Structure 1
Amino acid sequence: MTDGAIDPEAGLPWKRFNPLMLMVHPLRELIRYLPVLLIALIAGAAGGEPWWVYALSALGIVFGILRFFTTTYRLTPTHVQVRSGVLNRRTLSVPRDRIRSVDVDSTLLHRIFGLAIVKVGTGASHGQDELEFNAVALRDVPALRSELLRTAPPAAESSEPDNLSHWQPGWVRYAPLTLSGVASIFAVVAFLFQVQFFEGGLVTRLPIVQQAIGFVSHLPVLTTALWGAAGLVVVASAVAMVRYALSYGGFGIHRVDATTLHINHGLLRTRQITLDETRLRGVQLSEPLSLRAVGAASAHAIMTGLGRQRGGVALIAPPGPRDEAVRIAAYVLGSAEPLEADLIQHGPRARRRRFTRAATFAGILALGALVLQLVGIVGPSIWWAFVVIVPASALLAVDRYRGLGHRLLPGLLVARSGSLNRRRTVLATEGIIGWTIRRTFFQRRAGLATLIATTAAGRHRYTIPDLPAGDVWPLIGAVSLRDYARKA
C-alpha cells in the first residue's frame, strides 16, 4: 500500500460511497463524544452547564457529514484507490495483485441502514494503513468481494464438510472466566474518576451518590468488603456474559473451497473473515489459568496479510471447550499432533529461575508490608495474608515450569510458555525468516537464553523463553537443515 496520488488511469471517474452514510457518519461522531455528553448531563444534575460540550458535539456531527463528501473511491484495472480527508487530503492505492483478503465488518449502526465496511488486506506491515470501503450496501458486498478478488486463481472443489463448527449457547458459561467483565467495570470506574476530578468532585455532588456513601459509611468494614466483593463478582459475571454473547453469538466456521475458510461471529456487530489457507503460518492455542481450570481454551490462526488491526491472527475458536478448540485448530493445521504432543522441558535451571522469581515477588510484598506496618498504616494482621501469598507463589512457579517447553516436528516448531496466560504456538518453520537470541544478566548467570523466531505472519515474534544456552544453536541448525532437506 502506498501513500500518495497514484493515478494510472486518469479517465476513470471517482465514486462516492452509499449516501446512507450521511446518517451513519454523524451518529458515529456523536457516539465518540458520548463520554463528554455524559459529563454534561452529570454537570447539569449537579448544577453546572458546560456549554463547550455541546459545541464539540455539534462540530463532530459537521465533521461526520464532511467525511462523506470528501471520501471517494475507484477500481481501475491495476489499482484499488480510496481518497479521503477533510483537512489533510490523502489517496491510498493498492495494486490489485497485492490483495490478500477481503473482510466484512458491520457495526450496529451500519446494520440498521443495511450497510457494511469492506476491508482490504494486502499483507503490508503493521505500520501501514488499511484500505477500507466505508460503507457498502449489504446486497452489493458479494459482488464487490468477487471483483476485488478476481485475480485470485479459481479453487478446486472440496469434498470436506461445509460447516466445521458453530457457537453453542452453553459456552456463555465460560465468559466470567475471561475477566472481560472486570475489565469493563474498571473502564467505567476510571471514567467516573476522570469525571470526578474534571469538575472538582462532580460525581460526589450527585444526591444519589451522597446517599450511597452515607449508607456505606455506617456499615462495618468487613461487611462492606464482603458485599462489595460479592457485588463485583455478580456484576462482572453478568457483564462478561453479555459481552461474550454479543461478540461471539452466531459464530460459525465453514469451508468455501479447497483453500478458503469463512468465519463469522457477532450479534449487534457482525464480522466476516475469509481465510486463505495458502497464507496460513500456524495456529495458537490460548489457555489462561481461569479457563484451563475448567477445561476451556480458545484458538487463533497465524496468518499473513490480515492487516494491523487484528495483529495477523484470526479467531477460529472462541473461548469454549478445549476439545472443540483443539479439534478446529487441528483441522486448520492439518494435524492434531503438534497440539497434543509432549514437549521438551528446559531443565532444572529454568525451574530454579521460576522459583527465584516467585520468591522475589513474595519478598517485595513482604518488604512493602513491613514499611506499611512501621508507618502505622496497617497492623500485624497483614502478615496473615502471606499464609496465602507464599504457597500461591510457589504453586505458580511450579505451573509456569510445567507449561514451559518446545518441540521440533517435521515442518513445525512448537513452543509453549506462561501460566496465567498459557499459549501453545505451532509455527511453520518455512515461515521463519530470522532468529534473535536474547540473554539478560540473570539468564547469562543461569546459563539460559530466550530464542525468538521472527516471521512475517501473526505478531512477527514468537519466543521460546529460558532455553538452555547449549541447546539454542542446535535447535536453529535443526530447523534450517530440515527446511533445506524438504526443499531439496
Structure 2
Amino acid sequence: MTESPGDMPPPGQPDASEDLRPRRDPENPGSAQAVPEDGRAAPQVGPDAETGSAQAVPEDRPADARAGSAPRTVSEGGPAESEGRPAQAASDVRAGAPQVVPEGGSAAVRAVPEVWEYGLPIGVPLRLSPKVLLTDPIRMLPSLLLPLAGVLFLGGFSPGSFVWAAVAVVGSVAFAAVRWVTFTYRIVDDRLELSRSLISRSVRTIPLERIRGVDVSTPPLHRLLGIAVLRIDTGASGDEKQEGELNGVTVAEADRLKAVLLWHARARMARRAQARGTVPGTGSDLPAAIDASGTLPATSGAPRETPAHAAVGHEVGDTTPERVFFVLPRKWLVYGPLSGAYLLTPFALLAGAVGLAFQWGSEFRIDGRVVVDAGEWLWGHPLLLAGALIVLVLAMPVVGMIMYGVFNWDFTLRGRDGYLIAERGLITRRSVSLERRRVRGFELVEGLVERRMRLARAWAIVTGLGDSATRGQLLPVVPRDTVLGVVGEAIGAAPSGLRPHPAAARRRRLFRAVFPWLVVVACASAAALMWSTYWWWLAAPAAILALLGIPLGLDRYRSLGHTYDGTRLSVRSGSLRRSQAVVEERAVVGWTLSQTWFQRRAGVLTVTAGVGAGSGGYAALDVGEVEGVAFAAEVTPDWFASFVTPEAAQASGGSRGLGNP
C-alpha cells in the first residue's frame, strides 16, 4: 500500500514521538496491538465481534463498555476532507478513547486525550496565553501616555491626579483581562473560528482551504515572555480586518498551529494533484506514484526524497527535505546605506521628533513659538547649523546600516514541503510562508545607486497574497548576481536578452525628462526680466534640472525592454527605481493595449499583461505598434490569431504586419 502526502497524519497529535504502529499477534492474525518502542503499555486493539474491524480498548474502562465502543477511523483520503472517510459526529467519539487507523490509512495508532482533528481538539474553544494580560496594557501605553501626562500636569501632580492616573492604568489592565476572557479560537470541521463574546457575540470564520499563508512574528516583549503573534493570510488584498490574527499564543502553539494549517492546505493539494495524475507543485502531468518507503520517484521532477510523515513544528509535515536557498552574511550589512529607504532613516527620525515636539508641546505647556524661536536662533548661527548638518550626513550611512541589520538580521530563505519560507529580523523576528504553487514569478528592483553597485532586491509575484509589498519579499539588498542565482533556484530563471524599444521611445523619454523644466526656465526668466530679479533663483535650478534630465531620459530609455522565452515573459522600465517583472505564461489572464494621443503620433503603444497576482498587471512601455501586438500574440497566440499575420507570428523581432480581424 503506498502513501501520498495526503495520507500523512496531521501534525500536532499527542505522543507523536512514540512509534505506535499496529503490530499483529502471530497467533491471532486478525488482531493488532499498538506497541511503543520503549515497551510501555498501550491501548489494546482487537477484532470487533460483529464487524471484525480493529477496535481500540482503553485499559481503564470496563470490559462491557469496551466491547460496545466504536472506533474512530481515518481513511486513505486523510483527515482534511470528509469524502473517503466514515461520517462520524464528534459526539460519537468519546473523550479519552484512542484513535484507530485501519491498515489502509495512515499506518499509526495514537491514544489521544480528546476528540482530535488536524492535530487540535475539535470544537474545543482555546484561549490565548495569559501572558497577554501583561503585553496588552503595555501595547496600549503609547495611547495612554498623553492623557496620563495631561491629567498629571492639569492636576499639578497632586495626590488626586495620581489616583486618576492609577485608575486609568488599572482600567487598561481590566480591559485586557476582559479581552482575554471573551476571545477564543477553535477548529471546527474545515474552518477556523475566532470568537469574541461579551454582550454580543462576534464570530469570524476562516475556511482552512482559503488559507494562503501563516506568518509568525515575535516582537521584543513577546519574545521575552515566550509568546508570538500568528497572522493568517487569506489573500484579502491586504485588508487586515478580513484576516485572522492570534496575538499572544505561546511559541510552541504558534508553531503547531502553523504546521497544522499549512499541512491541511498541502494535503488538499496533494490529493487533488493525485486525482489528476500530477505531482504536487510541479505543474506537469507526471506520475504521482509514491513508493512503499514514502518517497516520490526520482523521475517525477520533484525533490528526491519526500517522506510521507508529518511532525509538529514544520509547515506541512516534512514531506520534503528542507533546502536553504540563501542566508544573509553579516558582512553584507554594509549594503544597507546604499538603499534609499535605509539611507534616509535619519531624516525620518528627525521629522518624527519634530512632529512629536509640536504634538506634545501643549501637553507640557510648551508654546509652539518656543520651537520657532529655537529654529531662528539656530539659523542665526551658521557654523553650528553646518556642524549639525555634517553630523546628520555622517549619521546617514551608520543609521542606514543599523536599520538594515535590524530588519534583515539573519535573513534566511528556505524551501520546505511546497513552501518558500523567509525569516528575518533582529528585534522583531518574522517568518513568512509562501505557497510555491501560487508563485507566478518575481520582481527585481534596483535603485539608482544600487545599480551602480550591481545590487538588487527581489519580491515574489504571488496569487492571493494580502499585503504583498511586505510579505512577498524574497531577498533584501544583495549583489544582483546572487539575487538572480537564488531566485533562479527557488522560482525559475529570468529570460535573458531583453528586446530594445524603438527610437520613438527614446525621444519620448527625453521630452518628458527635459521639457517640463524648460517651461519653468522660460516662465521664470520672463518674470525676472519683467518684474524682479529674484525669479532668477528659480530659473537657475530649473535649468540645471533640465540639463540633468538628458542623461536621466537616456537611462530611462536604456532600461526599457521586454522578452519571452517560451515559459516566462519579462518587462522592464524605470531609472531611479528600475523594476523588472518576470511572470510565468500561465499567469497571464488578459492583455491591455493602450495608446495616448502622443503615442499614436509617435507610433508606439503600451502593452500590459494582466496577471492575477502581484500588482495585477505589468506593462511594456512605448513598444512599436506592430511589435507590441506581436509580443502579446507570441505569449498567447490563440487570443490574437485573427489579428496577426503568419509572418508576424513566426518572428518576435523586426517588422511585422497586422492581419485583418
TM bracket (short chain): 0.7 to 0.9
1:170 aligned partner: 331
2:116 aligned partner: none
1:131 aligned partner: 244
2:354 aligned partner: 192
TM-score, with structure 1 as normaliser: 0.82
* Contact 1:252 1:264 survives alignment (8 Å): yes
Q: Which secondary structure does the structure 2 equivalent of 1:147 belong to?
A: helix
Distance in 2 (CA, whole Å) between partners of 1:424 and 1:417 is 7
Per-residue CA distance 1:44-81 (angstroms, 9 max, x = gap): 7xx999x9x97998677665554333322111121111
State whether structure 2 residue 377 is matched by structure 1 residue 214.
Answer: yes
For residue 18 of structure 1, report the CA deviation from its aligned partner: 1.2
Amino acid at match of 2:521: A
| Residue 571 (structure 2) aligned to one of 394, 415, 437 | 415
Percent sequence identity over aligned pairs: 27
Distance in 2 (CA, whole Å) between partners of 1:219 and 1:288 is 34
For residue 189 of structure 1, report the CA deviation from its aligned partner: 1.6
| Residue 395 (structure 1) aligned to one of 551, 554, 560 | 551
| Residue 225 (structure 2) aligned to one of 113, 119, 136 | 113
* Contact 1:73 1:81 survives alignment (8 Å): yes
Distance in 1 (CA, whole Å) between partners of 2:197 and 2:468 is 24
1:39-438 equivalent positions in 2, closer than 5 A: 64-84=176-196, 90-126=202-238, 129-151=242-264, 152-153=266-267, 158=303, 162-180=323-341, 181-183=343-345, 185-186=347-348, 188-189=350-351, 192-193=354-355, 195-196=357-358, 202=366, 213-219=376-382, 224=385, 227=387, 229-257=389-417, 259-306=418-465, 308-311=466-469, 314-335=472-493, 337-338=494-495, 341-367=496-522, 369-370=524-525, 373=528, 376=532, 378=534, 380=536, 384-385=540-541, 388-438=544-594
1:25 aligned partner: 136
1:3 aligned partner: none
Distance in 2 (CA, whole Å) between partners of 1:135 and 1:86 is 20
Amino acid at match of 1:134: N
Distance in 1 (CA, whole Å) between partners of 2:200 and 2:525 is 57
* Contact 1:414 1:424 survives alignment (8 Å): yes
Distance in 1 (CA, whole Å) between partners of 2:625 and 2:448 is 29
Per-residue CA distance 1:297-330 (angstroms, 9 max, x = gap): 1111211233x22348622211121121111111
Distance in 2 (CA, whole Å) between partners of 1:87 and 1:432 is 49
For residue 420 of structure 1, report the CA deviation from its aligned partner: 0.4
Which structure exhibits the higher relative contact order, with contacts defined as CA atoms closer than 8 Å and separated by 6 or more residues? 1
* Contact 1:304 1:312 survives alignment (8 Å): no
Structure 1: state its 5+ residue gaps: 1-7
* Contact 1:27 1:61 survives alignment (8 Å): no
Per-residue CA distance 1:96-148 (angstroms, 9 max, x = gap): 22223222122222212211122222344445712222222112222212221
| Residue 471 (structure 1) aligned to one of 627, 635, 639 | 627
Larger radius of gyration: 2
* Contact 1:282 1:425 survives alignment (8 Å): yes
Distance in 1 (CA, whole Å) between partners of 2:400 and 2:420 is 28
Distance in 1 (CA, whole Å) between partners of 2:533 and 2:179 is 56
Q: Which secondary structure does the structure 2 equivalent of 1:444 belong to?
A: helix
Distance in 2 (CA, whole Å) between partners of 1:89 and 1:444 is 59
Amino acid at match of 1:469: E
Amino acid at match of 2:406: L
* Contact 1:30 1:61 survives alignment (8 Å): no
For residue 364 of structure 1, report the CA deviation from its aligned partner: 4.2
- Alignment coverage as a number of residue pairs: 464
Distance in 2 (CA, whole Å) between partners of 1:55 and 1:394 is 64
Q: Which secondary structure does the structure 1 equivalent of 2:636 belong to?
A: helix
For residue 82 of structure 1, report the CA deviation from its aligned partner: 1.2
Q: 1:103 to 1:372 in 2, by over 3 A?
A: farther
Distance in 1 (CA, whole Å) between partners of 2:403 and 2:487 is 24
Structure 2: state its 5+ residue gaps: 1-88, 92-121, 271-279, 281-294, 297-302, 305-320, 642-661
State whether structure 2 residue 136 is matched by structure 1 residue 12.
Answer: no
Distance in 2 (CA, whole Å) between partners of 1:468 and 1:403 is 16
Q: 1:364 to 1:266 in 2, by over 3 A?
A: farther
Distance in 2 (CA, whole Å) between partners of 1:245 and 1:67 is 35
Amino acid at match of 1:163: V
